[in-house]
Amino acid sequence: MCGIAGLVVSRETRPPALSELEAMVAVLGHRGPDGYGLYRDARAGLGHARLSIIDLAGGAQPMCNEDESLWVTFNGEIFNYVELRAELEALGHVFRTRSDTEAIVHAFEQWGEGAWARFNGQFAVALWDARRKQLVLARDQFGIVPLFYACGENAIVFASEVKALFAAGRLAPKFDPAALVHIFTRWAVPAPGSPFAGVACVAPGHAVTITEDLGITSKAWWQPDFTPRFARGIADLDEATDALEERLKAAVAIRLRADVPVGAYLSGGLDSSLVTALIQRSRTSHLETFSIRFEDAAFDETPQQRRMVEQLQTRHHDVLVSGHDIARHFPQVVKHCETPLLRTSPVPLFLLSDLVRGNGTKVVLTGEGADELFAGYSIFKEDAIRRFWARSPSTDWRSALLSRVHHYVGDQHDGRMWKQFFRKGLTETDNPFYSHGVRWANTAWTTRFLKRDLIADVDAAALESDLEPFRLRWKHSRRFAGSCGTRCWG
């Protein structure tokens, strides 16, 4: 992934200093080792640390349009840049590079704020309109790519990481104790908040506009489209399965657009194995795959990984992680996550990313997000069990099913707790709209959990290793609605 940073200053103050831009970009150097670029005028400055993936020779940033009235620095990838370019060229736009960055510039010229919804990708964009003296910060639907901003001394600063905001020297770091409430209850601070006082993130699916007088407005350009029963045109499980397969194939294919080798994470589970298999179908050469092995047998999935490697015939690499490794690297991972961590899971991902970098691979495809989209977590299994109870209230399977979801319940002996737990929500199961609530909860959980926690873990773990993880979790609003709207079978 790349790193972006910059600032816009008030009318009354001096122009952005070259030194403060350089300091911000230097902090982000681990995100983009392939070069850096700067732009500044009397009111704004943009910086970029580049990890080159598309148009290695011509994709340097910040990049401008033909008359230099629009300047952009962005992190991520616009996967459908080829189609966007063809559409924009037909409208009269002239391109000078083959990069996806230039597609952003011309798309904003053509469609303004409507451009964001046309992008199939994962992105954080900073776009400076030199004529209107206006800065726009935009982020993809699920916030896969991070972007923060804060009000500093006579300026508003922005960056891919919070620590780069402080490098400008216009504000001092200060932890927000109230953030701990969210972290200890929801694992992360909900957008647009952050663990730092005075620092905000651009909320997923939002664009923040900073006007000439440093006024700030945030506007949602995307929201999940909840379909209460079926996705449009899908009548049953077989059709839903076929539609999902086609969308997965298309999602994998478009993410293989890169001018550098693309690898894959292969944990041995269903999600990553499916993604890897789809990549292999389109390749004639060996695919590089990567996984984690754990010294603790309770967490190790090496046998499953080896079976998939043998089946898919990939060139596989793995890293063995011990408890000592996790303890040794944990402080470094906290530094990159820029938040208190309640779990150690980002540490193995960090070590896995280091393995990928050592192999010379810049891009990997991952399978994260399937449990959120398709109700794979235990919290959703409980909903399925409750629907089963509604159909068969006297079943002997009740305790056995529950123990598969909540292993600790068997240790509880207070009958009052058991009554409250088993009766929770069951008074509503004869309501014809009961399953509507389950699907609504799934949609809400998906957007909350993906936006706040899972994405932050993967990004922070990968950024130290100059790595771009492409997630299949990102969907067009139409495609995501198809997933949410498919009936909850079972």
Which residues have a catalytic role annotated? 2
Distance CA 38, CA 114 (A): 27
Type and span of the H or E element at 388: helix 378-391
Torsion of CA 270, 276, 279, 281, to 10 degrees: -80
Nearest to 188 by CA among 230, 216, 146: 146
Question: How many angstroms separate the CA atoms of 99 and 377, rounded?
Answer: 38
Longest Cα separation, the chain: 76
Closest CA to 46 of 145, 138, 159, 132: 159
Taking Cα atoms as reference points, which of 259, 239, 61, 44 lies closest to residue 156? 44
SS3 for 213-237 is: CCCEEEEECCCCCCCCCCCCCCCCH
Neighbours of 293 (CB within 10 A): 16
Q: Where are the alpha helices (DSSP H) in 53-209?
A: 81-90, 100-111, 162-167, 179-186
Residues in the chain: 490
* Three-state SS letters, 251-316: HHHHHCCCCCCEEEECCCCHHHHHHHHHHHHCCCCCCEEEEEEECCCCCCCHHHHHHHHHHHCCEE
- On whether the CB atoms of residues 130 and 41 are closer than 8 A, the answer is yes
Cα 144–Cα 458–Cα 461 angle in degrees, nearest 5: 130
Beta strands 206-210 and 216-220, pairing class: antiparallel
Relative to beta strand 70-78, strand 121-129 is antiparallel
Which phi and psi (to 5°) does residue 425 adopt?
80, -10
H-state helical runs in 52-206 = 81-90, 100-111, 162-167, 179-186
Sheet containing 155-159: give its strands across.
36-40, 44-49, 3-9, 155-159, 148-152, 199-201
